[in-house]
Amino acid sequence: MSKILVAYFSASGTTARLAETLASASDAELYEIKPAVPYERRDLNWMNKKARSTVEMQDPDCRPALADTDAPVPAAEIVFLGFPIWWYREPSIIDSFLDAYDFTGKTIVPFFTSGGSQLGEGQGRIAVLSKGAVVLNGRRFSARTSERELREWFASLHLEQI
């Protein structure tokens, strides 16, 4: 089996729980993508046009600073990339992460949490930002996804062939 990394960003803990379960189910290394300035509750109020997350998501070129660039991306062959859906795409901090590393020759598998929103333009954005990588179609999961569901999804990807 290829070397697998589960890299994730979680603002509320929902994506973190899913990422931890996926890492356990896939025998992968786990890495949390952290912004240099952590998001506070007030930053995540999508109804406030001046909230940090709203302002960031209105600018497609926004790249919030990362807390570190220590992710074990170079050693990974397959990177599961987890995040919550913000404004029908990946949060800007994910773009910062993708810009920070060389993904040439790697396979990226997006997974995201949402109550109902899909990835929308995010799938294409991730493919563009991770130059040289193969980006598989992402999948949405709810907060109530079971370990069994994650194991079945992981098996259905047939990553042993990569």
Predicted TM-score of the model (pTM): 0.92
Looking at the chain, the whole-number percentage of residues with pLDDT higher than 70 is: 95
Q: What are the tens digits of pLDDT across the range 41-70?
A: 888 887 788 888 888 888 989 999 999 999
Round to whole Å and give the CA distance between 22 and 133. 21
pLDDT of residue 53: 86
Give me the CATH topology for the region 4-161. Rossmann fold (3.40.50)
Domain definitions of the chain by residue range: 4-161
